[in-house]
Amino acid sequence: MTQEVATMQKSTGYSRRTWKKWLAIYAIAGAIVYLIVYLLFFAHSGGGGGGLY
């Protein structure tokens, strides 16, 4: 019984640490996708007017 409790504490402690890692991964992936979309749709518009207007 005590081994199960220790295992559960380890797994919850591990999951507390990993959510920050996953948050960083998703933030970086989102930034890369945003940059790609920006470069594809807005970088070719030239002048300062904005891409789709």
Quote the distance between the C-alpha of residue 22 and its chain's center: 7
The answer to whether 36 touches 26, Cβ cutoff 8 Å, is: no
User: How much is the pLDDT for 17?
Assistant: 74
For position 42, what pLDDT does the model report?
Answer: 77
Residues belonging to the chain: 53
Per-residue pLDDT reduced to its tens digit, 1-53: 555 545 555 555 566 679 999 999 999 999 999 999 999 987 666 555 555 55
In order of 26, 51, 53, the CA distances from 17 in angstroms are 15, 40, 44
